Amino acid sequence: MSEGGIPSYDIVQPSAWDAISMTPELSAAAEQASALVFGSLSQRCDTTRDTVRCLLQLCDRCVFDVNFRPPYYDQPIVEEGLTAAWLAK
């Protein structure tokens, strides 16, 4: 935290959630889930972003965890997530 009380974050790359690939098991779990919680930060890499897009098609209720921490804020991803979301936090 800075002297002015502003928090800072070290968001490490790569992370396991940067490479979540679609699998039959993941698809089956999403189809049975009562809700899908997904975040904007996890979509900084194409692999996970593509998987999230597939999963959003399988769930009726999607909860979007929006992250505005620079440098990972991406307006098109946020807009797409808000459009798909049943609830945003």
Dist. CA 29–CA 20, nearest whole Å? 14
Determine contact, residues 77/43, Cβ cutoff 8 Å: yes
Torsional class of 78: left (φ above 0), alpha (ψ -120 to 50), beta (otherwise) = alpha
For the stretch 41-65, pLDDT in tens is 999 999 999 999 999 999 999 999 9
CA proximity to 55, closest of 16, 86, 84: 84
Determine contact, residues 54/80, Cβ cutoff 8 Å: no
Host H or E run for residue 75: helix 75-84
For the stretch 65-79, pLDDT in tens is 999 887 788 999 999
Query: What is this structure's pTM?
Result: 0.87
